Amino acid sequence: MRIAFVTLGYTPLRDSGLAIGGERVVRALLDAGHQVTLIAAARDRLPETHVDPALEIHRLPLGRSNWIGYAARAARKLRALKNSRPFDVVHFFDLHFAYAYRGPFVATLHHSFHQRLSVLSGALHKELPRFMYYSLARLLAEQPALRRASGLLAVSTATRDEFIHAYGVAPDRVALTRHGTDTNFFRPTPRASLLRARLGFAEDEPVLLFVGFVTPRKGLDYLAQALPLMRPTPRQLGQRGREYIERDFSVRAMREATLDAYERFLWGGDNSAARRSA
């Protein structure tokens, strides 16, 4: 099959888990014998590091408008490519990237703007910009893309249920396609004992690892509340992909849940060492 795959980040531009997940889907499609035309973003000129005879990569500028402007440029690029040679499948790896495209497509569901709206709290003057952004994105991008999608792929049961119940999507339009685990990457290492000792962890001490942006929808406040109830109480090692505007939310949650849990939450650090210590 000839497949068009639209994502945001793609190696060597890896700025989120979405980028890595999309890369692994593309590699799996290539391994299955498909031809893939990839549309991905770029901030500067990048040397392509993924080379395959069946892979064609088109880079589009990301720009200050981020995914909103990028999605509009991706739709124009898709139309031009499709006119020269039709695709069997057009796959947007995030539903929101599809809002400007007119044509049959499938899209992956990761999270909703309804979920983002539901966790907003605090003073109105602080939350108003995000409230307006989330509300407009839901109305003008998310909901139209949902209506036009030929099929939807949910990465979890919670995500599938969110779009069924909060958006009224028919259950038979959503297929459950969970992310897998790369066991070549996530595997035990003989150096784990040395790494745990360097980070101050006992050999038999349970360690939980969080890797990602720190935002209310990630549920770290629930994790903080659960830590004191676990036996033995684990050491929680927190990792962030980059500084994020909502980081203070989870810091407050940690402090409010229990000071002991907050003190066990370590911000930043060596990602590779953390992965092998957990």
CATH number of the CATH domain containing 54: 3.40.50.2000
Question: Which is more confidently placed, 213 or 110?
Answer: 110
116 in Cβ contact with 217 (< 8 Å): yes
Say if residue 230's pLDDT is above 80.
no
Q: Cα–Cα distance between 96 and 111 in angstroms, integer? A: 10
pLDDT number for residue 249: 47
42, 145: one domain: yes
165, 196: one domain: no
Question: Which among 244, 119, 274 has a CA at the least distance from the CA of 265?
Answer: 274
Q: Is residue 185 part of a domain?
A: no
**Range 105-124 average pLDDT:** 86
Non-local (6+) Cβ contacts of 74 within 8 A are: 6, 39, 60, 97, 100, 101
**Range 169-178 average pLDDT:** 95
Quote the pTM value.
Answer: 0.80
First to last CA, the chain: 40
Range of weakest confidence among 172-181, 217-226, 264-273: 264-273
Q: Cα–Cα distance between 270 and 275 in angstroms, integer? A: 9
Question: Which among 50, 38, 53 has a CA at the least distance from the CA of 87?
Answer: 38
Q: Which domain does 198 fall in, by range?
A: 192-277
- DSSP-assigned letter for residue 122: S
pLDDT number for residue 167: 96
21, 131: one domain: yes
Alpha-helical segments (H) within the chain: 17-31, 66-84, 113-118, 124-137, 143-148, 157-167, 192-198, 220-226, 247-257, 259-264, 271-277
Question: Which among 113, 114, 101 has a CA at the least distance from the CA of 149?
Answer: 101
Say if residue 257's pLDDT is above 80.
no
- 149, 176, 203 — which closes off a domain? 176
126, 91: one domain: yes
pLDDT band at 272 (very low <50, low <70, confident <90, very high): low
51, 127: one domain: yes
Q: Cα–Cα distance between 219 and 221 in angstroms, integer? A: 5
pLDDT number for residue 183: 79
**Residues of the chain above pLDDT 90, percent:** 50
Q: How far is CA 165 from CA 41, 97, 118, 120, 145, in A?
A: 32, 22, 14, 20, 17
**Range 141-153 average pLDDT:** 97
20, 142: one domain: yes
Q: Cα–Cα distance between 133 and 118 in angstroms, integer? A: 13
Question: And the tokens for 228?
Answer: 């004191």
pLDDT number for residue 127: 80
User: How much is the mean pLDDT over the chain?
Assistant: 81
pLDDT number for residue 267: 43
pLDDT number for residue 240: 45
**Range 203-231 average pLDDT:** 72
pLDDT number for residue 214: 66
Q: Is residue 78 part of a domain?
A: yes
Say if residue 104's pLDDT is above 90.
yes
Q: Cα–Cα distance between 80 and 89 in angstroms, integer? A: 15
Question: Which among 29, 27, 24 has a CA at the least distance from the CA of 3?
Answer: 29
Question: Which is more confidently placed, 104 or 249?
Answer: 104
84, 152: one domain: yes
20, 108: one domain: yes
How many domains is the chain built from? 2
69, 115: one domain: yes
pLDDT number for residue 29: 96
pLDDT band at 31 (very low <50, low <70, confident <90, very high): very high
pLDDT band at 16 (very low <50, low <70, confident <90, very high): confident
88, 125: one domain: yes
- In three-state secondary structure terms, 144 is helix
Say if residue 250's pLDDT is above 90.
no
**Range 175-187 average pLDDT:** 82
